[in-house]
Chain A
Amino acid sequence: MNYNFEIVVVGGGPAGIAAACAAAEQGKSVAIVDENVGPGGQVWRGERTQQGKCDSTSPSYWFRRLKDCPLIRQFFGWRIFDAPAFGILRSEQQGECIELGYKRLVLATGARERFLPFPGWTLPNVMGAGAIQVMVKSGLPIRNKRVVVAGSGPLLLAVSAYLRQHEANVVAIYEQTSWINLARFMGGITGSPAKLVQGLQYVWKTFGIPFRAGCWPIAVHGKDRLQSAVISNGTKQWELACDYLACGFHLVPNIELASLLGCRIEGTVVEVDSLQRTSVDSIFCAGESTGIGGLEMSLLEGRIAGLASAGDHIGAEALAQQRGKMLRFASLLAKTFALRSELKSLSRPDTIVCRCEDVPFELISRHNSWRSAKLHTRCGMGACQGRICGTALEFLNGWIADSIRPPIFPAPLSSLAVDRENLVHNHLDT
């Protein structure tokens, strides 16, 4: 099946919703696509409309605005796996494949958690902080379970608050960054009341849970299942019995689709100008795939991209004025939650780094580039295409990941074929 739109938005998180609404409100035909079954992305996953407060940063507000746009066609539960040529996206749902045509494209693919290998990290019940939240949202019983939360980033607090709300026994929160960095961070957001309120809310909601900065997990113990986590502050280490370790080391942008489309990547983020334009004509990018900046920034960027892709440059430029402040917050985030170098030496020789292909650290450490390690150890060659180990090794060894190859997610062979006629306008030659 083929569907054609003036604008396709990939990602149904805050940035994608805002972009789709802004573009459709300009009278454009818009599609919004997300692999999740409903709108919301990472932060609003599973939220329902008409619930709670309704300001311009609330899910209720945006879900209603999305619903009220007749020009938006929603494709939830559909995952984009290939971009065979400019103007065409391929999407898949349980083996069924559709093609989405666009004149202009907004990528709002968000971010994912970063995982770092340490002894035992592949044991069941060791999971990402965001991942455990998702699992609880989809029914994992967590009441009275002992959860240690560790790693880095504001997500740790958000998840802890969520878990406590669901009656988990959150044993402690360990943030790898130092108290000094956290104090600077708080100082840095005093000028932004909304952020301050949000921060204080999390502090309130996690009140009573021991919070320690400058500590990180170094190992977990357990036979078939997690039994305890070992935490260190650099001089001392101690062990805590737990049922779950929720552990993520801040976020990394999802750049694979942008990269496949030939958009320039700057370090680990998609490069955009003030109107969210990427280096490829008619392709825009908004939200955390352009850098980790939080909800407000994703919403703002989404609105800018929506207007700009719909041709309302004046409107987009007016909004873009507000970007400066958000960018400062983003760089404050990056500085605050930069990973300490001690985290580079957590792996033992036999610690698995690539989970798809079972490649231990000792094999990888014999190589001096991602490409060499990948080619000779198969690390990163599995189904996740190095999304986990590649991201870890970027930090551990300073390696730059290989260029992405299609498809960006595994897909049936038959769904990768495209007729020659449809490729005529392809300008993806890279």
Chain B
Amino acid sequence: MSHHYDVVVLGAGIVGAACALEFTQAGMRVAVVERGVIGGEATAAGMGHIVVMDDSPAQFALTRYSQLLWAELAPTLPENIEYDRCGTLWIAQNEEEMPELQRKYIYYQSLGVPVQILDSSGLTEAEPNLSTSLVGALLVPEDAVLYSPAAALFMVQCAQKMGAKLYLEKTVVRAGESEVLLDDATMLRTDRIVNAMGASASTVTPDLPIRKRKGHLIITDRYPGFCRHQMVELGYLTSAHSVTSDSVAFNLQPRRTGQLLLGSSRQFDVDNGFVDRSIVKAMVERAQRFIPKLSSLSALRIWTGFRVATPDHLPLIGAIQGDASMFVAVGHEGLGITTSLATAHLLLDQFLERTSIIPLDPYSPSRFSVTEAHA
């Protein structure tokens, strides 16, 4: 049997789901292939923090664009997606971190992101359980949290209602040159292919410059009202950037259910999903500096997941050279829930050859030469 589509999306994580919905809404004939459960891999492991980050101008542009797209979508999202515009508090531990807080404040403000600086007492008022030794924080009120697997499922279902075809529990074995072969021998013919297979993307598109970065998360029992904002330590980026060693940073998220989700750790070159209790220890100790009471709360479970990272911490969004039908959307590292919507928009812009709201080049896969990819 043969089928013809305008675009076939490989993988129904949050990125594939967002693409499927965006392309279908643009009137394209779309198919999505998912080997397991929709949103069942990195998307199920992630924290679902919709956050503007300023590691680089390109990262800022992509995350801000996405954050606004989520805000636009929010009123249409069903209850079970748990979208909550709780805002982010970037917390400074000591006076040495205050200049960085100032810099971040000025940067966000100059680019039109509403922000507010809280001093020590303002911070205690906002989050009474925080340690009083903390000196201040930057509040980004437009950041949000959501439950990402539900968001992925919702987007796929919307796309299906508008005519997209879902191939569930089918594995892509080969894709390229306008053809996608599934493990049940079904051959899909299509003008374009979007590889959104997350950590498995290289199995279909070889030589992608991506690496896995393991992360641990801990979820607690229900403590309604324990905290109100997503809280992240200002030193997060310094820690997130350490490529040589395992790193841990304070990152706490209130869930709609009253549960708390505690992150976060980053480890390169660990392939197993084993819960490393020494990493857990580091996470809990780190968190305790910010919220002394936290360590007595009851943990329900701990899990791990893999972020897919590129050398410059920016995703690969766009065409693959040498195959006019082939596109990728991978490597979103710790921001794929946030940036999924912008990713879909940028790809559609390329399909329709229209100008994007933000420049495409920083995310173009061709920025890494082949030799670099092999390094």
Which chain A residues have a beta carbon within 8 Å of chain B's beta carbons? 82, 84-85, 95, 369, 371-372, 375-376, 378, 381-383, 385, 405-407, 410-414, 416-420, 422-423, 428-430
| Cα distance, A82 to B299, chains bound together (Å) | 12
A417 touches B277 (CB 8 A): yes
B374 at the interface (CB under 8 A from A): no
B218 at the interface (CB under 8 A from A): yes
Could you say which interface size class chain B belongs to?
35 or more
Question: Closest chain B residue to A90 by CB distance?
Answer: B277
B163 at the interface (CB under 8 A from A): no
Question: Closest chain A residue to B218 by CB distance?
Answer: A413
A381: which B residues are within 8 A, CB to CB?
Answer: 300
Known interface pairs A405-B275, A419-B281. Does A410 touch B295 (Cβ–Cβ under 8 Å)? Answer: no
Additional 8 contacts, C-beta under 8 A, given A413-B220, A413-B294: A371-B36, A376-B39, A383-B221, A385-B300, A405-B301, A416-B302, A418-B280, A422-B278
| Cα distance, A406 to B301, chains bound together (Å) | 5
A412: which B residues are within 8 A, CB to CB?
Answer: 295-299
B278: which A residues are within 8 A, CB to CB?
Answer: 417-420, 422-423
Nearest-CB distance from A356 to chain B (Å)? 10
| Cα distance, A369 to B34, chains bound together (Å) | 14
Dominant secondary structure of chain B at its interface with chain A: mixed
* Subset of 11 A-B contacts with CB under 8 Å: A372-B38, A375-B40, A405-B301, A405-B303, A410-B299, A412-B296, A413-B218, A413-B220, A413-B287, A416-B218, A423-B277
Closest 10 CB pairs of A and B: A417-B281, A418-B277, A414-B295, A84-B277, A420-B278, A372-B37, A410-B298, A405-B301, A375-B149, A429-B272
Nearest-CB distance from A355 to chain B (Å)? 14
A95: which B residues are within 8 A, CB to CB?
Answer: 296
B44: which A residues are within 8 A, CB to CB?
Answer: 375
B277: which A residues are within 8 A, CB to CB?
Answer: 82, 84-85, 406, 416-418, 423
B342 at the interface (CB under 8 A from A): no
Question: Closest chain B residue to A428 by CB distance?
Answer: B274
Which chain B residues have a beta carbon within 8 Å of chain A's beta carbons? 36-40, 44, 80, 149-150, 153, 218, 220-221, 257, 262, 272-278, 280-282, 284-285, 287-288, 294-303
| Cα distance, A419 to B279, chains bound together (Å) | 9
B221 touches A430 (CB 8 A): no
B40 touches A413 (CB 8 A): no
Question: Closest chain B residue to A260 by CB distance?
Answer: B275
A419: which B residues are within 8 A, CB to CB?
Answer: 278, 281
A410 touches B221 (CB 8 A): yes
A372 touches B40 (CB 8 A): yes
B285: which A residues are within 8 A, CB to CB?
Answer: 417
| Cα distance, A381 to B219, chains bound together (Å) | 10
Q: Which of A371, A411, A429, A430 contacts B37 (CB 8 A)?
A: A371
Nearest-CB distance from B81 to chain A (Å)? 11
B294: which A residues are within 8 A, CB to CB?
Answer: 413
B297: which A residues are within 8 A, CB to CB?
Answer: 412-413
Known interface pairs A413-B284, A417-B280, A429-B274. Does A407 touch B295 (Cβ–Cβ under 8 Å)? Answer: no
B302 touches A406 (CB 8 A): yes
Nearest-CB distance from A198 to chain B (Å)? 40
| Cα distance, A84 to B275, chains bound together (Å) | 8
A376 touches B150 (CB 8 A): yes
Nearest-CB distance from B112 to chain A (Å)? 36
A82: which B residues are within 8 A, CB to CB?
Answer: 277
A417: which B residues are within 8 A, CB to CB?
Answer: 277-278, 280-282, 284-285
Question: Closest chain B residue to A372 by CB distance?
Answer: B37
Nearest-CB distance from A302 to chain B (Å)? 30
